């Protein structure tokens, strides 16, 4: 990245690669009632139609998941 280039590493990398490794979220109790969708031939929990692929972090007030919107 050139000096003064304010793009993040994700914006400058190959966009075909996921930002996080896929995780099996089927046993996650917070997603037990979430609807499911198929992403890369695997059924995954989804919120708002966006498949959730990995858990990024968890704190006292929230859990953050990585999802990938295939319609963009």
Q: What is the mean pLDDT of residues 17-45?
A: 89
Exposure pattern of 14-50 as b/e (b: 16+ CB <10 Å)? eeeeeeeebeebeeeeebeeeeebebeeeebbbeeeb
**pLDDT at position 8:** 46
The residue-averaged pLDDT of 20-28 equals: 89
Please enumerate in sequence order all residues whose Cβ is within 8 A of that of 50, keeping only pairs 6 or more positions apart, or say none. Answer: 67, 68, 69
Mean pLDDT across the stretch 7-35? 74
Q: Is the pLDDT of residue 6 over 90?
A: no
Q: Per-residue pLDDT tens for 33-72?
A: 999 999 989 999 999 999 999 999 999 999 999 999 876 5
In this structure, what token pair is assigned to residue 48? 């708002």
């Amino acid at each position: 990245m050139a000096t003064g280039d304010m793009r993040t590493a994700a914006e400058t990398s190959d966009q075909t690669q996921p930002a996080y490794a896929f995780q099996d979220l089927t046993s996650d109790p917070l997603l037990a009632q979430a609807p499911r969708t198929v992403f890369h031939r695997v059924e995954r929990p989804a919120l708002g139609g966006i498949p959730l692929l990995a858990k990024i972090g968890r704190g006292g007030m929230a859990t953050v998941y990585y999802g990938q919107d295939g319609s963009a």
